Chain A
Amino acid sequence: GENVEQHPSTLSVQEGDSAVIKCTYSDSASNYFPWYKQELGKRPQLIIDIRSNVGEKKDQRIAVTLNKTAKHFSLHITETQPEDSAVYFCAASKGSGGYQKVTFGTGTKLQVIP
């Protein structure tokens, strides 16, 4: 089955600096790569996603890059703010009969220091 590895497990940055979280996946059939943000005690919520036919996607201060050849993808957060502090999960997904099987990474706890 699919295996998703995520690094680092914890990340501390100064407010205003950039943060980068990296993930690798094993199944070349995976075609959808979402990133979820989970604040303490809350549910995971999608912040950005990318499909396998796209190399990069940006939404304001966050961006995701995908390298299909190397099977890795990354989340980039620029100009970090204290409200960016949360746990971030990457995931790799592939479709099967109208169902997307999703495998999550183990999460990165991001702390933005004011």
Chain B
Amino acid sequence: NAGVTQTPKFQVLKTGQSMTLQCAQDMNHNSMYWYRQDPGMGLRLIYYSASEGTTDKGEVPNGYNVSRLNKREFSLRLESAAPSQTSVYFCASSDPGQGSYEQYFGPGTRLTVT
């Protein structure tokens, strides 16, 4: 099993450009999450999807949109990138409905907005 995969690994954008970060998991998990990680601030939740067909805002949703394409895939879109969105983005999945609360993280996407 590949676990949680993310593409791309690195990306440089100019202010105002748009892009979509892709995430997929092969563990048949119901819940998926997008976090951003900034120095000294830990992991902050952007959006989550408790199950296929549902999405909800997390702690820092402004400037982002998400799509839960199917049970495996959860994408994060930046419509008009800003320098404040320079960060490392992690996707994660879990299946608390099965009694396992552990979140499995992808390898991350390092995004720089100039």
Q: How many A-B residue pairs have CB under 8 A?
A: 58
Given contacts A43-B105, A43-B108, A45-B105, contact A98 B43 (CB under 8 A): no
A residues less than 8 Å from B105 (CB atoms): 43-45
Q: Are B96 and A98 in contact (CB under 8 A)?
A: yes
Q: Does B97 contact A (CB under 8 A)?
A: yes
A residues less than 8 Å from B33 (CB atoms): 102
Q: Are A100 and B94 in contact (CB under 8 A)?
A: yes
Q: Does B107 contact A (CB under 8 A)?
A: yes
Select which of A34, A97, A107 is within 8 A of B50 by beta carbon: A97
Interface residues of B in 58-114 (CB under 8 A from A): 59, 90, 94, 96-97, 101-103, 105-108
Nearest-CB distance from B99 to chain A (Å)?
A: 10
> How many angstroms between the C-alpha atoms of A70 and B97 in the bound complex?
29
Residues of B within 8 A of A (CB): 30-31, 33, 40-45, 48, 50-51, 59, 90, 94, 96-97, 101-103, 105-108
Give me the 4 closest cross-chain CB pairs, A-B, nearest first. Answer: A99-B50, A98-B97, A43-B105, A104-B42
A-B contact pairs, 23 of them (CB 8 A): A6-B42, A34-B102, A43-B90, A43-B105, A45-B105, A46-B102, A49-B101, A49-B102, A89-B42, A89-B43, A97-B50, A98-B31, A98-B51, A98-B97, A99-B31, A99-B48, A99-B50, A99-B96, A102-B45, A104-B44, A106-B42, A107-B40, A107-B42
